Amino acid sequence: MFASVGRRLWVGAVLGLLGALATSPARADFVLYHLPGTSLALVLRGEASVNPGRTITCRHPLGNLHFDHTDVQIIQSPSPAEQYQRVKGEKNRVGTVDAMLELAAWCVDNGELRWAREALSEGYKLAPEDPRIQKMVLLNRYLTSAVPEDPEAESEMREFLKGKEMKVARSRHFLLMHDTDDRPDPRTRRTPAEQRLELLEQVYDSFYMNFALRGKYLRIPKEPLRVVLFNDHADYLTFVTRLDPDLKKAAGFYDPEHNVAIFYRQQTDEGLEGHNQLADIMRDLQESAKRARSSSSAALIRFAKTLELLLRITGENLDIEVVSHEATHQLAANSGLLPRDKFIARWAHEGLAAYYESPSEATWAGIGAVNEQRLEYYRALAPDREHSNLEFIVTDRIFLQAANNEGTLHAYGQAWALTHFLMDRHFEQLMSFYARMSEEGESEMLVSEWQERVLEIFRDEFGDLELLEDDWRRYMRSLKTDMQVLMQ
């Protein structure tokens, strides 16, 4: 089973990641907010304005947030639409099919699928006979069409859930069993199930389009992918403990045996670092406001409501990160990219899922975004050449020798970093490595023999490991998060 590990709360109110939930604002500001009296730092993206009295309002799709000017810093940047128009103008001036394909790839990388399809449409007008355009048109026809319903899927899912009463929701490519509220959110006008299915479809389309625009055309499943969404973390824990007690630490997971991805709504997890701290502050403020009969009570109430909204936004962003990670596992298994029925190398599975996840602290959505948490864990271990080197990672010793959850998070960081480098600089060789490893599958070899075989195939595909490792480390030193780029 593949699982998203870790309980850390990375607070990033990311407007771009919520594209499936609401309309983007006309302007894109970044508000860096340090919660008074705590170590919590938040990155908010939205339209910010300075009010009389020097208070700051940040307009977010899920509601308005209000801050004291002494606690925030506003950084102005182009909106997603403005960035798109700039890149589009550059590609239009070139006016070739290659330029339109590059524009489409940029759009997918930045989480803007609608604009990607517009770029492909322009490419088709330029050269309808181009085989790459024809393949993308065919792919989009499949992506926008619904797969046939599987009449046995629902009953099989109910058997898998072992009597847990669940409702059914469907989208083009997914069958969702859930116990969430059927009332739509007043702002998004969607139910939690509809929001989850919309996010899953966004990950699905991004995954296939990103690979296709790189020249890798993956198999599209002929049946709906199966997903479970628990409304409450406690119910999720009860269910997964019966499957495997170790899954209690997972924020979500993909079960390849049953081909099911299982999630819960992250905002219901009181074990997240910072969650209780924020909740306690909010309750104290509300009580203080009730007791105070002065002009300050309105400000206290407003601040309490802001904290309540921040908790909700944080949960939404964590949902996006976990869902995009586990959905990638499911898509890789069902597209033929990696085998579903046999385990090849954990670093390959987890590195790919981490590469395609939308990190909760990112400043906009997109494929291959630099995940601050993964990058920090990579950097923390990088000086330790005994445990941060290609041979140690590729043979999976990085995971096999992890003694605790912290060690596993370091392993995820290394797997993400290596995959990020190989996807960016050695894509064809990585795809060949995946294919050869899939053909090998599991065997009767001892672990040490299997590790040597994996290393042999890796060397055969990528060449001199010493030179490759030097290139990898230079590449990693050059990586910056979106916020680091903005702060330059």
Q: For residue 37, give both structure tokens.
A: 């009296």
Q: Is residue 272 classed as helix, strand or coil in its secondary structure? A: coil
pLDDT per position as a tens digit, 311-365: 777 778 888 889 999 999 999 999 999 988 777 789 999 999 999 988 665 544 5
Q: What gap in Å lies between CA 276 and CA 235, rounded to an integer?
A: 19
Q: Is the pLDDT of residue 462 over 60?
A: yes
Q: What is the pLDDT of residue 288?
A: 67
Q: What is the pLDDT of residue 28?
A: 58
Q: What gap in Å lies between CA 120 and CA 126, rounded to an integer?
A: 10
Residue type, 423: M
DSSP state of 51: P
Q: What is the pLDDT of residue 248?
A: 84
Please state the φ and ψ torsions of residue 231, each to the nearest 5 degrees. Answer: -70, -35
Mean pLDDT of all residues in 57-77: 82
Q: For residue 282, give both structure tokens.
A: 């909010």
DSSP-assigned beta bridge partners for residue 178: 167, 229
**Beta strand residue intervals within 352-472, DSSP E:** none
Q: How confident is the model at residue 296 (pLDDT cuts 50, 70, 90)?
A: low
Mean pLDDT of all residues in 245-270: 89
Mean pLDDT of all residues in 204-228: 96
Sequence spans of domains, the chain: 370-488
pTM for the predicted model, two decimal places: 0.87
DSSP state of 70: G
Crossing angle between the packed helical segments 296-335 and 346-356, to the nearest 10 degrees: 130
Q: Is the pLDDT of residue 183 over 90?
A: yes
Higher pLDDT, residue 318 or 255? 255
Q: Is the pLDDT of residue 157 over 80?
A: yes
Which of 16-25, 27-36, 306-315, 446-455 is predicted with the least confidence, judged by mean pLDDT?
16-25
Q: Is the pLDDT of residue 138 over 80?
A: yes
Q: What is the pLDDT of residue 289?
A: 62
Q: Dihedral sign, CA of 256, 418, 323, 209?
A: negative
Q: How confident is the model at residue 275 (pLDDT cuts 50, 70, 90)?
A: low
Crossing angle between the packed helical segments 131-143 and 97-109, to the nearest 10 degrees: 30
Q: Is the pLDDT of residue 95 over 50?
A: yes
Q: Dihedral sign, CA of 317, 321, 262, 211?
A: positive
215 close to 98: Cβ distance less than 8 angstroms: no
Question: Residue holding tokens 């209000």?
Answer: 66
pLDDT per position as a tens digit, 359-406: 665 544 567 888 888 999 999 999 999 999 999 999 999 999 998 889
Please state the φ and ψ torsions of residue 31, each to the nearest 5 degrees. Answer: -110, 115
Which of 25-29, 182-186, 203-207, 358-362 is predicted with the least confidence, judged by mean pLDDT?
25-29
pLDDT, the chain, mean = 85
Stated as kind and residue range, the H or E segment containing 227 is strand 225-230
Share of the chain above pLDDT 70, in %: 84
Among residues 210, 211, 144, 206, which one has the least CA distance to residue 171?
144
Q: Is the pLDDT of residue 239 over 70?
A: yes
Q: Is the pLDDT of residue 24 over 50?
A: no
DSSP state of 218: P
